[in-house]
Structure 1
Amino acid sequence: MMAANLNTKSTVSALQMAWLRELGIEKPWLPEPTQTKNPAASDAPVQRPTELNLSRPLVKSPVVTTAQSSGGSLDTMAALGEVVTQCQACGLCQEREQVVVGAGDLQPELMIIGEAPADHEDRQGKPFVGKPGQLLDNMLRAIGRDRASRVYLTNAIKCRPSGNRSPRPEELAACRPFLVQQIALLRPKALLLLGRFAAHSLLGGEDSLQALRDKAIIYRSEGLEIPVVVTYNPSYLLRRPEEKASVWFDLQRLL
């Protein structure tokens, strides 16, 4: 279950502390919030984060024409995977080595959605491998989780953009129906979106990652109501390790 409120400081076990040190975090909390400059405002009620109602998609996506034209079915993960591997809805199909559909438990408590496969994922056909994958494993262990148990991993984009460039809007839109169908089939208890493009693909809009991190988001679609946590992508953390403490703060919402 996701906690409704987060304390600024958190009590962690010795094992969690060990994994946090692997992440490069010596203090498992963020700095105490600074005092407001206006004393008269100190007694004002704290504004609760905005909750997004996603009962209707915020991004217009093309229908999955590949499945329709071939008569394919999307009612199982195996069938969906077959359709995704044959997809030619955007130009990425000409650049990819392998399609990275996803991997993990098919009855997940947590579904993790990254942005796009990098070169390691493209070669192996698996999400979150290499150094970003190792960092993600440490992130999960720090909150008592493991990718091998009740976790499913995928990306918003199923094919690697050349040169590991950022996904284009039309590429995100082309893959979005697959992502939405994966969520509908897996029915996870929580969604963890890693990176701005992963969040924009599923949630729509153009909010900054910081703005999305500050919001309480519920993904609603076809009877599903799934809490969403948005945070930084592991690849970004490898370049900006000072943000790891912020990610630890975000991950506590999954406890």
Structure 2
Amino acid sequence: MIDWVRTAATMGINAILPPRCGGCGEVTDTTHAVCADCWAGLRFISAPHCSCCGYPFELDDGVPGSGDNIDGGRTLCAACLQKKPAFDQARAALAYDDYSRDYLLRFKHADRGDLTPLLARWVYQAGRGIWDQADLIVPVPLHRRRLLKRRYNQSGLLAAKLARMTGVPWDGLVLARHRNTRSLGGLGPSSRKREVGGAFVVDEVRAEKCNLAGARVVLIDDVLTTGATANACVRALRQSGAKHVSVITVARVVR
């Protein structure tokens, strides 16, 4: 009886407010989906990729270059071989380009919280093999001034949804951005690193409540560009005892 009522209610809602493509807005058959045309434009990242930062290798047969890319049995990109990031591993669902940028800009700046289930599903897929070992999900925080202006933290929306999908608890207050950094758009790697250096702190009271010490943490953000923000967050989490930190984003910049 309950299932029948739920089905009838869903049909009624869809008749009044039909599900639409998360990209172009065209009517679709199912909720939180994209149409075939929009799907074709998205570049999902899959193996082979760097075992550490998740950067996709362009050669279909796996290891680019020579055996020098092997480190401890892991295949690493040149950047990770030269300098290992602060995080243990990073994964992203999509390559950041004109198609994925449109989704993220609307999600981030245009009050499109309705895109959360769609984007969270992609992030969930990107994190396969990570969720079942995670102890805590933490979103990259906004400074309070920016949060008041935007009214929501897009990374927090994703973290809350992913917590429900995975059963892994999340905390949106254990990590804080105590310095209001300027927008990183247009800045180079060195400038980005300087801008976010020391900008993040851990609330030790909340850290104790969510058992951060010794935890395997998943840090959630919308885009991984140079890794400056992610690395700054990870350093703060590690200083407060996090054992292992993975970074999972909706998209990442591919050089």
Task: Say whether the fold is shared (TM-score over 0.5).
Answer: no
TM-score category by the smaller chain? Answer: 0.3 to 0.5
Q: Which has the higher contact order (CA 8 A, sep 6+)?
A: 1
**TM score, norm. by length of structure 2:** 0.34
